[in-house]
């Protein structure tokens, strides 16, 4: 059995050098209204939210998640490097991340009027090579207010021609984007305009309430041997606390039973008052899978270093090629080599 750990580490990276360029706190949310003329002026609500940090190919990147009318559209892994905004990976609707090679420059470090850069992107289902230029600085009004913004312009010609204009405000982000597609005759066949409705604000993603240690006293060794649901060591405040949950839904709370055909399991831990550079290790163990492997077989494990005292992380266990083996499993979560919490689950037919 081969499982894949995909690590999503949330914390507070050192982004001070680019702090004036774009808000970078986890939970920061941009709300837009999008109007599509090709759909009789159909309006939709678009939100872009920083879901945290993700380690991708050894680099800590900001994870931006976009939803349209509440439905997940894409995730992007973005770096604020050298006073620029650069996208290194982008996902599809199924959440599969695709590396961008070369990375896509969204805001260049050189923002002088006339500066240019190129990206490979998609317009109206067409993959195109786009050449952007800093067109100038303009006053612009959107529902969120009036701004002095830099306008980035791109145009492409062919059977279908297009123009893309984006207005960017340092410290706020993109406040407007307009994409116009024209047919062979030059007539407009689609115009999509997206405008910022509210200035960025920090929102907290809904979470399943977790009982406090006072509500559920730390179990004794004897109690642990009898428990087949959730076990907690209740780490002392001096060492910090860890809460852990596992689910088949990336946004849901904890579960204790899963079907053998579930494609992914999501493991989340959250720290509270963790010591500096605390090491958190997650171990996925097959306790009893009917003789397929020896009891308490270590299937996989992954270790991360907490970026802050209240850091959190998400791991994804992908179903192996030959399917999930039915039986009993457990997750052991270590804090600096000491077990902080154990979760036991079952996989059934």
Q: Residue 226: in which H helix or E strand, if any?
A: helix 221-226
d(CA 157, CA 148): 29
pLDDT in the model for residue 174: 96
pLDDT in the model for residue 31: 95
pLDDT in the model for residue 209: 42
pLDDT in the model for residue 7: 43
d(CA 136, CA 237): 54
Q: Which residue has the tokens 């612009």?
A: 140
Q: In residues, how long is the chain?
A: 349
pLDDT in the model for residue 205: 52
pLDDT in the model for residue 236: 41
Give how far Cα 332 sits from Cα of 60, 232, 286, 309, Å: 25, 10, 11, 20
- Around Cβ 288, how many Cβ atoms within 10 Å? 16
pLDDT in the model for residue 235: 40
Rounded to 5°, the CA angle 96-101-103 comes to 90
48: Cα separation from own chain's centroid: 11
pLDDT in the model for residue 247: 87
221: which DSSP letter?
H
Summarised one tens digit per residue, pLDDT across range 77-105 is 999 876 899 999 998 767 788 899 889 99
Q: What is the pLDDT along the chain (349 residues), one digit of tens a residue?
A: 544 444 444 433 333 334 478 888 889 999 999 998 766 668 999 999 999 988 888 888 999 999 999 998 899 999 987 689 999 999 876 778 889 988 999 999 999 999 999 987 665 555 667 899 999 999 999 999 999 999 999 987 766 788 999 999 999 999 999 999 887 777 888 899 999 998 888 765 554 443 333 333 433 333 333 333 333 334 443 445 888 888 888 766 788 899 888 888 888 888 888 888 888 888 889 999 888 888 888 888 878 888 778 888 777 787 777 778 899 999 998 988 888 888 899 999 8
pLDDT in the model for residue 5: 45
């Amino acid at each position: 059995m081969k499982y894949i750990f995909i690590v999503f580490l949330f914390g507070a990276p050192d982004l001070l050098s680019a702090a004036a360029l774009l808000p970078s706190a986890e939970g920061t949310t941009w709300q837009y209204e999008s109007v599509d003329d090709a759909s009789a002026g159909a309006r939709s609500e678009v939100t872009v939210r920083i879901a945290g940090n993700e380690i991708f190919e050894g680099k800590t990147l900001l994870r931006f998640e976009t939803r349209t009318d509440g439905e997940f559209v894409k995730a992007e892994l973005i770096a604020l490097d050298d006073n620029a905004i650069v996208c290194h990976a982008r996902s599809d609707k199924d959440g599969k991340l695709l590396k961008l090679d070369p990375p896509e420059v969204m805001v260049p470090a050189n923002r002088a009027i006339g500066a240019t850069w190129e990206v490979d992107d998609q317009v109206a289902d067409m993959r195109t090579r786009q050449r952007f230029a800093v067109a100038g600085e303009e006053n612009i009004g959107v529902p969120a207010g009036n701004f002095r913004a830099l306008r980035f312009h791109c145009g492409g010609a062919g059977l279908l021609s297009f123009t893309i204009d984006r207005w960017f405000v340092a410290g706020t982000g993109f406040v407007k984007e307009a994409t116009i597609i024209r047919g062979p005759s030059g007539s407009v066949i689609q115009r999509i305009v997206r405008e910022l409705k509210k200035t960025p604000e920090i929102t907290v993603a809904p979470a399943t309430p977790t009982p406090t240690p006072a509500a559920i006293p730390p179990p004794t060794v004897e109690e642990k041997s009898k428990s087949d649901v959730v076990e907690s060591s209740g780490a002392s405040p001096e060492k910090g606390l860890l809460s852990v949950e596992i689910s088949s839904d990336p946004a849901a709370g904890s579960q204790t039973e899963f079907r053998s055909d579930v494609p992914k399991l999501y493991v989340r831990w959250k720290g509270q008052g963790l010591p500096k550079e605390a090491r958190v290790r997650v171990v996925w163990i097959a306790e009893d899978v009917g003789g397929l492997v020896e009891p308490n077989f270590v299937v996989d494990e992954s270790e991360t270093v907490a970026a802050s005292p209240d850091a959190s992380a998400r791991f994804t266990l992908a179903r192996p090629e030959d399917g999930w083996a039915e039986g009993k499993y457990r997750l052991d979560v270590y804090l600096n080599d000491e077990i902080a919490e154990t979760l036991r689950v079952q996989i059934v037919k």
